[in-house]
Amino acid sequence: MDDKPLIYVLSDSVGETAELVIKAGLSQFNNGNYRVQRVPYVDDRKTIDDALQLAMEEQALIGFTLVDPELRTYLNEQAAVKNLEAIDIMGPMLNAMERVFHRNPHMQPGLVHKLDEDYFRRVEAIEFAVKYDDGRDPRGIARADLILIGVSRTSKTPLSQHLALKRLKVANVPIVPEVAPPEELFNVNPDKCIGLRINAEKLNDIRKERLKALGLDDHATYANMERIHQEIDYFDDVVQKIGCNVIDVSHKAVEETANTIMRMMK
């Protein structure tokens, strides 16, 4: 039998907020050695009764976010009757805000995670960036809003994810002298491509640190200056053939490069 502490998370929405708060508290005690069981979309007393019964049998802790004051009161009362520890995450905050703002809350579950069109576009863009990361499927090039190309360690992946949060579908393609770029790269509108250039000295430093982090010799070919110059020269040939814009990322943070790209796209 699993002897890890069990926490039931009850919510009238998906339970993400409650779980995050519970996990933040738990991190101060047992470094993740616990189990969390969500009970989402709680909208009646029967669901509460069932969850409390399970919590009694498992000797579990309860955390909950319920905006309906009647259900909140019922859960608190029944937990006290059953001698269960129940943490009301939302109730005290709503009550305090109501007193300060002199307004009644909307009492609508899930408003913080309202699934509107913007939300779905962002999720779709993130999934796209993961699927077409590192040139793993060249078919994504034709479907992308933006294609990033560059040699290894030019922040193509984190930049793709950052731009995905801005609802852009981004594919990225590594440029390696021994591997011909996918033909799709030369068939798309060059305005959709951005080359990420980096100077040789900066790339050498980054790659050496990467090798050290992996426990490898920093004199490997990957960080060899002659090899790096070869890769950069090949990258320059590729971007010239495509005819795309190039950004020097040698001394730019991901956020700064992303902002530059957004301005270029506008």
User: Tokens in use for 73?
Assistant: 């009161």
Closest by alpha carbon to 21, among 62, 70, 67?
A: 62
Binding residue positions: 150-157
Angle at which helix 156-164 crosses helix 254-265, to 10 degrees, equals: 60
Which one-letter amino acid corresponds to residue 192? Answer: K
- The residues near 68 (Cβ < 8 Å, ≥ 6 apart) are 12, 43, 107, 109
Q: Which of 70, 69, 17 is nearest to 40 (CA)?
A: 17
Q: Summarize the annotated binding site for ADP as residue ranges.
A: 150-157
Question: Residue 265, by phi and psi: left (phi above 0), alpha (psi -120 to 50) or beta?
Answer: alpha
DSSP secondary structure code for residue 184 in this structure: G
Does an H or E element contain 201, and which? helix 200-213
Q: How far apart (Å, rounded) are the C-alpha atoms in residues 80 and 65?
A: 17
- For residue 21, the Cα-to-chain-centroid distance in whole angstroms is 18
Residue 261: partners with Cβ closer than 8 Å, 6 or more residues away: 146, 159, 163, 194, 247
What separation in angstroms does the CA of 65 have from each of 43, 54, 76, 116, 117? 12, 18, 12, 22, 25
